[in-house]
Amino acid sequence: MAQTVFAPWDDPTQRPLIQFKGVTKRFGEFVAIDNLTQDIYEKEFFALLGPSGCGKTTMMRMLAGFENPTEGQILLAGQDMAHVPPNQRAVNMMFQSYALFPHLTVWENIAFGLKRQKMPRHDLDERVDEMLRLTRLSKFAKRKPHQISGGQRQRVALARSLARAPKLLLLDEPLGALDKKLRQDTQFELMDIQEKTGTTFVIVTHDQEEAMTVASRVAVMDEGSIIQVATPANIYEAPNSVYVADFIGDVNIIEGAATRTAEGYDIAWAEGQPPFHAKTPVVLGNGGPAYLAIRPEKISISAEKPDDAGNTVRGRIIDIAYLGNISTYHVEIPGGTMIKAQSANTRRLSRRSFTWEDEVWLSWTDTAGIVLER
């Protein structure tokens, strides 16, 4: 871990760069954004994550100025942006389609925004060259967009939107058009560039892995509202709802009735079975019905009943998915619930310990599960 953690959202003396204040956006009858309030801080890499139609793109387009809020305010550095048109905002956007001008070269694309500022010729040349270097595109300056690869186009789009040194850069699914391998490399490149330029980035994505990799904070959205905002680690390890737990990564959700214990809750999940224990500081509003959410990688699988585990349950292997680095076992436990358990394949070509129809023991610690309200 770094010595000083970057967490301006925990520092009450920091003033946010962007403030959404009770913003609602309606398109006719349809409510795209529902009374949303959210702060975003300078130098943050803020990810808006959610399924299509959740309102994340609308939020971004309101920041860019292509849409205006129906109600509420959006402040940028304390200034209300309501009547500032897109061409006068210190905000630039990297479009999902990249929107590179096909009739202009890479160089002219990057220079496009600078020319609108009437930047002197000499400074302009320098700035474009700097952007080309930053995005490793110097060799391609004279090419047209259709003469370069998808990854290069993505970098041109990034360079073009960064050239005007915006206070805020919006990225709409910036890596959506790239294949998986290239996407992973580009994610690190994006983080690198964000750090070098010190620009605030807001990224819209439906790819949770991408959001987790690049963002300082992730906002999980659904139906026009933000469900949870937290660092990637907290979103994963401490989701505040079944929706978030389910949206980010893989999770087992066990329904049951919770009763308060000294350190957390006991979850009764099936008749005639001992309850599962969960240590948690969280206090449920109402005892009784609850969910227990456990990540598959936190469940171990063994042939014999382990002695030291907080929770154990016996089950039968129904399905095995071999994914190379890990294997996922689908295990049916009493009552018919299916539980996914993962184990890392640390040894190459080892004889598989378990096979279909094997009776096995699943176990996890008391702190592995999260109790969520039903």
Partner 1 sequence: MRRFTLIAVPYLWLLALFLVPFLIVLKISLSDTALAIPPYTPTLDFSGGWSAIKDFFSKLDFENFIFLTEDDLYWKAYLSSLQIAGISTLLTLLVGYPIAYGMVQAPDEWRPTLMMLVILPFWTSFLIRVYSWMGILSNEGFLNQFLLWTGLISEPLIILNTKIAVYIGIVYTYLPFMILPIYAALEKLDISLLEAAEDLGCSRLSAFWLVTIPLSKGGIIAGSFLVFIPALGEFVIPSLLGGSGTLMIGKILWEEFFSNRDWPVASAVAVILLLILIIPIILFQRNEQKAREADQ
What residues make contact with partner 1 under the rule CB under 8 A?
A: 64-66, 85-88, 91-93, 95-97, 99, 101-103, 112-113, 116-117, 146, 160-161, 164
Beta carbon of residue 65, minimum distance to partner 1 (angstroms, whole number): 8
Q: Encoding tokens for residue 322?
A: 């071999």
Beta carbon of residue 158, minimum distance to partner 1 (angstroms, whole number): 13
The DSSP call for residue 255 is E
Gyration radius (Cα) of the chain, Å? 25
| Beta-ladder partners of 265 | 260, 278
104 vs 193: CA distance, rounded Å: 24
Q: Quick one: how far is CA 29 from the chain centroid?
A: 29
Q: 87 or 355: whose CB is closer to partner 1?
A: 87
Residue identified by tokens 């009450």 is 12
Q: 85 or 198: whose CB is closer to partner 1?
A: 85
Q: 102 or 198: whose CB is closer to partner 1?
A: 102
Maximum Cα interatomic distance, the chain, rounded to a whole number of Å: 80
Beta carbon of residue 348, minimum distance to partner 1 (angstroms, whole number): 45
Beta carbon of residue 71, minimum distance to partner 1 (angstroms, whole number): 24
Q: 164 or 217: whose CB is closer to partner 1?
A: 164
90 vs 194: CA distance, rounded Å: 16
Q: Which residues, in sequence order, are CB contacts of 201 under 8 Å at separation 6+?
A: 44, 45, 46, 168, 169, 170, 171, 190, 194
Q: Could you tell me which of 16, 76, 23 has the C-alpha nearest to residue 225? A: 23
**SS3 at position 91:** strand
Q: 69 or 264: whose CB is closer to partner 1?
A: 69
Considering Cα of 227, then 172, then 23, then 75, what sign does the dihedral take? positive
Q: 206 or 330: whose CB is closer to partner 1?
A: 206
Beta carbon of residue 112, minimum distance to partner 1 (angstroms, whole number): 5
Beta carbon of residue 110, minimum distance to partner 1 (angstroms, whole number): 10
